[in-house]
Chain A
Amino acid sequence: MRLDNSTIYMRRNIFLMYSLKLKDFESIHTYYIRTLIERKEASKRHMCNRFQKLSFRYLSNRTPDARSRQHQILAGTSNQAIATDKKPSNSAQTKGAPVSIENESVIKLEPIKVIGIVPDQNPKPNTSVLKGRSLYLQQSDTLGQTLETELGVSNASFGPGVGVPVIRGLTGSRVRILQNGIGTHDATSLSPDHAVAIDPLFAEEIKVMRGPEIVRYGGNAIGGVVDVNDQRIPEKRAKKPISGSVESRYDTNGDGTNSAFKLNMGKDQLAFNLGGFFRQRGDTQIPGKAIDETFAEQQLGLTGIQNVSGKIPNTDSKGTGGFAGVSWVGNNVMAGMSVSHTDNRYGIPKGSHNLDPSHLGGLETILPRLRDLTGFEDIFGPQALFPNIRINMQQTRYDFKSEWYAPMRGIESISFRYGLVDYGHTEVEGGSPFTKFKNDVGEGRVEARHNALPNLTGTFGAHWIDRKFSALGVETFVPPTKQQSLGFYTTQDYTWNKWIVRGGLRFEQAHVNPSASELKLRGSALPPVPLPNALDYQALSASSAVQWNPLPDVALTLTLNRGKRPPDIQELLALGPHLSTRSFEIGNVQLKNETVNMADFGFDWKSERISARINGYYNRTDNYIYLRNTGLVYEIDNEVIRQRCVSDSECVSIFAYDQRNAEFAGFESRIDATLYKMPRGNVLLTVFSDYVRGRFVNGDRDDVPRMPPLRYGAELGFGNSLWTTALRYTRGETQTHPGKNETSTGGYHLLTATADYQIKTGTWGDLWLFAKAHNLLDEEIRNSVSFLRNFAPEPGRSFVFGLRASF
């Protein structure tokens, strides 16, 4: 098929709009005007739809003021476009228009009624994007901490070194954490003490998708997706030969420093990105004692434990990393790759081991009688007797990306992503390594995005993962295993008047192959346990959503999802003590797919001064995989399974993976209002709340453990485009549904304050100064979603100061 010049030009414009990432609204406006007058009538309506989507995507991330102002521009654009239709002779002189269009019959175009101010049509319900100023202010040491103020998102901490996002009460194998669309492939799904292999300081945009996102991302996205985009692979040509940013921040709590830089370079069609970071902090300061002594006495029967006030020992951390990316950006094709390396070293708060000072395998009976230990401090010193557990994590990634825009009529783009991840971490006790985790993964995706019909757009894709996992050493509770999955999917969006209908379908095949034929429990009389050769799973997932815009400012969305997740490696094959969670896990090789059935109702309202967003959801999960307490215990030192144990601190409970139906119900709500408009700035008020309740459906309807509590609060802000200040209060209620054999957590008052100021230095660039105060009331906060909540509270009062220079 031969394309005419105007079609080629049209596609180029669309591509440029993508490649420029909608840098400003005016660019949309310019492109729109330019393109609309060039198009044939038949294509104009489609182009208008495209323009609307791009515009709304852009507008949805703007402040209410900016949105309002730009709505007016858009209205003007519509009029101008229509006027242009009527007066083609003027528009034909548009700068940059190809000569060939002069003969086009633009004068015959009719007004296009669909153009106008319509409400924000967020392409994905329950999706929020954190970027720009908001992101920079929220950036913290961990991804979970960075996102914990987002609605429906909590932080599963394991001491300050670990922060894994929890979405609507789900985490681990149920929430996919992506880096530029490809999984991080760290060990977070395996154990809560494993950190996410992403440093949030690089992030340019973090997208949180609440609810199942299985169709594009696979079964592990059954609870949602967090996609961190750090733009390490350049996606557009460099505007300047060199540009970039440098940021540094200091945290008074733990004497923490974070520094990072990014350089964007390029010439013509080649673009280079370079970045690096360094992060270091000491022990986290807290208002009271690290270990909840009431818990230790009641749950573990321990009195006189070693406890520390004012800080959590062994919570210092240090991280370094960097990346280099290169791309070739053609007219409608780009291809690029990046290499990155992250090194993260952090400590685990004491809790799993050596809590009881009277238990040193007999040494405790001899040491008190020794008067002189000079020369033997290395084996009898505090660190040797009560060793710290540290985790040294390294990840090297190779990412590849290619996009081909408008390769043929009806195909908007074809994209390819591939990530090769070499992840490993070593767990060290008292300086000696005891377990090494390894995860080598290749993940790829090929996706074609079509716009076959004027009102129908969508994707077709294939997605595959090839994983080799092993854990060698003391805590080898999961055997070396290969895991492969292949999925095919499609998503389609259909727009009709005030309605948007979305649907998606995915078929996934997963294959799990343990390399060992049997498992032997170290030091135990338990006979070797044979393993199956391989396990195969098929999963068919579907999603649908209907969005109705009854009024220009209002959108109602109903989303229905049915998604399946094949069991993860540890759920199938675990056998042995898992010290970080104080448990002994027994896998189950006959687990079925976990099936989530979610209904989500959303209400969005945006006016000039007020915007509101409320979501209510119900998630019924069939065959929810959980750890069933067998009622037995495993004595760690004696390596014996028994029914009861004298000293709970020396024993861990034995759990078996099992399945049971569970239900989750909750809501997220947020209202933003501009209270006063003043010459120097606006006074803004935000009120928010979120909640989720999870419980098992059958039997005694136990609570699903480690759910976040009811949160609500308000934020009062004052500022303009150059500076902002905000005071935020969050009330976390007592978690009275902690789950069976779990301890409840008390309520808390969290007060934070932020302030920032932007200095425009003209041609040199911008300087951005910011300050943040966290937990101003210095409250002792025990995080109900944290495994270690009774051993490590959340950080106490802290002040963060920083600057960011961009040039």
Chain B
Amino acid sequence: MTNRIRFYLLIVALLLNQAAFSQHLDVEVWGEGNAVFAGYCRTPGVVGCDLGKLAQTLELPAGALPKESTTGKLIFLANFRDLPGGDFRTKNPGFQSIQNGLLPNELVSYRALGALKYWDPALSSWGNSPHGIQITLFGGLEASAEVLNDFSKCAGQLVCFSDGSFGIDGSTIFSAEGILGNPELVVDITNNNGILHTHLSFFLENQQGEIGGPVGAYLVEMQLISNARFFPSEPFLILFNTGLDEAAFAAALVALAGKPSDIDPDPPRPILPVSIPGDVDLDSDVDRIDVALILLAAQNNEPVNPGNAMLDVNRDGVIDRSDASLAKDLCTLRLCNIPIIAPATVLNVAAVYDQNTGILNLNDIQASNQHYRAQLQLKDENIFVLNTVQIDKPRYAIPVRYDIESGILEIPSVYTHGKNFKATLRNIGDDKFRLEHLEEIGGVFE
């Protein structure tokens, strides 16, 4: 019991104390096959995801993070008083996916579940939330089915919603009675590299929309869905602290979760792509956060290990300020340096091969003037079978090219196992393609 309390106290203390631990506990999203997954973000270096370091600090085994003891649902922690937006409102937890964690332009939404639960500190028990108190969550609206982008249906307005104006209900209400309002709203859409990082808006309020609510802890449940995958993620919980001190909030958490040792290992990790030099937080660009992270590691004299190898930008075996300087030179974002034309990098690859599943995702195939997206499955040696194909729009600077007459599929770069290959496949009929040529190339297009 002592160890358990100490563990949660430390988590809560770190969560509540922005100066000591200001990284957010974002929900990491990734896709595998036809399913979307949500889990703790543990990708080393990614901003907002430092739970690995947290567990290390706590001298706990990796993955020993809170889950509901009865259901095994992950519990994400948030604090209504964490941001300058004011009490009773928070943007946390955020949602993010690393590069290629999801498909390009994949639309991720949430689906609200269950009912709002409340931890009463006076009774030290979980129950329904006080009457009239609710958590309102505002998601993105632009991908709603009710959005209209036809000005002839919007009285001339370039964008409107189905009722001809913006009178849509853009909120989800978690109440003791269940879910009210719109149960599904958009989290965000990934960029061309499958990256997503966004925060929603949670408000604690009464039914009249007046901000505020009793001190305590609140629990909501949701799962994530994707427009590109059939299966939603496993449901997970978000635990909000509203004015409780560390011990009281830890008690609320302990009441939900079992002993740390009871916690099952996390689900399999997504495949980590190789980072571009200097991109230590794996958000597909080199920006000031990357430089700051390297400086911080250098200041702490962190030794190079497999988990932080990307911090050693110049690959001299030491993380020091010269790595930060090199990253600064490589910085490509606004306020560092704006490239006139984005250079072609490994990030531009239109094809990804997953060696574990044998699935070859071709995210942009150009055939004549038409673009497609397709998935092939490796069946026999050098033979791929076409699983799915659909018309799509151009997505990449250098797409896969398919010659209809010759049946040749030329992949300028397919990424797998940290390497890039140039590949050629031939259509041999019956939805089958034979690998005819495979050649390793550098990480960057010429």
Partner of A645 from the list B22, B107, B201 (CB cut-off 8 Å) is: B201
B1-33: contact bitstring with A at CB < 8 Å (1 yes, 0 no)? Answer: 000000000000000001100110000000000
* Contact (Cβ within 8 A) A376 B295: yes
* Contact (Cβ within 8 A) B188 A586: no
Q: Taking the nearest CB of chain A, how far is it from the CB of B130, in angstroms? A: 22
A522-533: contact bitstring with B at CB < 8 Å (1 yes, 0 no)? Answer: 011111111110
* Contact (Cβ within 8 A) A387 B202: no
Residues of A within 8 A of B198 (CB): 638, 640
| Interface status of B47 (Cβ within 8 A of chain A) | yes
**How big is chain A's contact interface, by range?**
35 or more
| Interface status of B139 (Cβ within 8 A of chain A) | yes
| Interface status of A587 (Cβ within 8 A of chain B) | yes
A622-643: contact bitstring with B at CB < 8 Å (1 yes, 0 no)? Answer: 0000000011100000101111
* Contact (Cβ within 8 A) A586 B201: no
- Contact (A432, B334) CB under 8 Å given A366-B292, A588-B158, A638-B199: yes
Number of A-B contacts (CB under 8 A): 174
Residues of A within 8 A of B289 (CB): 361-363, 366
Instruction: Enumerate B380-430 residues with CB–CB distance to A below 8 Å.
Output: none
* Contact (Cβ within 8 A) A632 B170: yes
- Stretch from B65-73, B142-150, B242-250, B271-279 at the A interface: B142-150
A640 to B189 CA separation, bound complex (whole angstroms): 9
Q: Taking the nearest CB of chain A, how far is it from the CB of B163, in angstroms? A: 12
Residues of A within 8 A of B334 (CB): 429-430, 432, 434, 474
- Contact (A643, B138) CB under 8 Å given A301-B84, A379-B335, A380-B288: yes
* Contact (Cβ within 8 A) B84 A430: no
* Contact (Cβ within 8 A) A525 B140: yes
A528 to B393 CA separation, bound complex (whole angstroms): 12
Q: Taking the nearest CB of chain A, how far is it from the CB of B19, in angstroms? A: 7
| Interface status of B157 (Cβ within 8 A of chain A) | yes
Q: Taking the nearest CB of chain B, how far is it from the CB of A159, in angstroms? A: 22
A297-326: contact bitstring with B at CB < 8 Å (1 yes, 0 no)? Answer: 000011110000000000000000000000
* Contact (Cβ within 8 A) A638 B188: yes
* Contact (Cβ within 8 A) B170 A643: yes
Instruction: Enumerate A661-707 residues with CB–CB distance to B below 8 Å.
Output: none
* Contact (Cβ within 8 A) B84 A304: yes
* Contact (Cβ within 8 A) B328 A379: yes
Total residues of chain B contacting the partner, CB 8 A? 65
* Contact (Cβ within 8 A) B149 A527: yes
Residues of B within 8 A of A521 (CB): 142
- Stretch from B85-93, B117-125, B261-269, B307-315 at the A interface: B85-93
* Contact (Cβ within 8 A) B203 A644: yes
Partner of A372 from the list B140, B299, B335, B337 (CB cut-off 8 Å) is: B299
Residues of B within 8 A of A99 (CB): none
Residues of A within 8 A of B156 (CB): 588-591
| Interface status of B336 (Cβ within 8 A of chain A) | yes
A298 to B140 CA separation, bound complex (whole angstroms): 25
A365 to B83 CA separation, bound complex (whole angstroms): 12
Residues of B within 8 A of A529 (CB): 149, 151, 158-159
| Interface status of A343 (Cβ within 8 A of chain B) | no
B74-114: contact bitstring with A at CB < 8 Å (1 yes, 0 no)? Answer: 00000000011110011100000000000000010000000
* Contact (Cβ within 8 A) A647 B85: yes
- Contact (A526, B171) CB under 8 Å given A370-B296, A590-B155, A647-B85: no
* Contact (Cβ within 8 A) A654 B157: no
* Contact (Cβ within 8 A) A589 B84: no
Q: Taking the nearest CB of chain A, how far is it from the CB of B382, in angstroms? A: 38
Partner of B47 from the list A362, A371, A519, A575 (CB cut-off 8 Å) is: A362
* Contact (Cβ within 8 A) A368 B201: no
* Contact (Cβ within 8 A) B170 A384: no
| Interface status of A265 (Cβ within 8 A of chain B) | no
| Interface status of A367 (Cβ within 8 A of chain B) | yes
Name B22's closest neighbour in chain A (CB-CB). Answer: A365
Residues of B within 8 A of A591 (CB): 156
Q: Taking the nearest CB of chain A, how far is it from the CB of B47, in angstroms? A: 4
A531 to B149 CA separation, bound complex (whole angstroms): 10
| Interface status of A3 (Cβ within 8 A of chain B) | no
Residues of B within 8 A of A380 (CB): 288, 291-292
* Contact (Cβ within 8 A) A644 B288: no
Q: Taking the nearest CB of chain A, how far is it from the CB of B286, in angstroms? A: 11
* Contact (Cβ within 8 A) A363 B166: no
Residue from the set B150, B191, B334 with the largest chain A CB neighbour count within 10 Å: B334
A368 to B22 CA separation, bound complex (whole angstroms): 11
Q: Taking the nearest CB of chain B, how far is it from the CB of A576, in angstroms? A: 10
| Interface status of B235 (Cβ within 8 A of chain A) | no
* Contact (Cβ within 8 A) B157 A430: no
- Contact (A303, B84) CB under 8 Å given A632-B166, A656-B157: yes
A158 to B302 CA separation, bound complex (whole angstroms): 49
Residues of B within 8 A of A762 (CB): none
Residue from the set A302, A376, A641 with the largest chain B CB neighbour count within 10 Å: A641
Q: Taking the nearest CB of chain B, how far is it from the CB of A641, in angstroms? A: 5
Residues of A within 8 A of B432 (CB): none
Partner of A379 from the list B166, B203, B296, B331 (CB cut-off 8 Å) is: B331
| Interface status of B435 (Cβ within 8 A of chain A) | no
Q: Taking the nearest CB of chain A, how far is it from the CB of B46, in angstroms? A: 10
A429 to B334 CA separation, bound complex (whole angstroms): 9
4 nearest A-B residue pairs (beta carbon): A590-B156, A643-B170, A365-B22, A525-B189
Can you give 8 A-B contacts (C-beta < 8 A)? A304-B84, A430-B334, A432-B334, A529-B149, A529-B158, A640-B140, A643-B169, A645-B138
Known contacts A525-B186, A640-B188; 14 additional CB pairs below 8 A are A356-B84, A362-B48, A366-B292, A380-B291, A384-B288, A429-B335, A432-B338, A433-B338, A575-B159, A590-B151, A642-B138, A642-B201, A644-B170, A644-B171
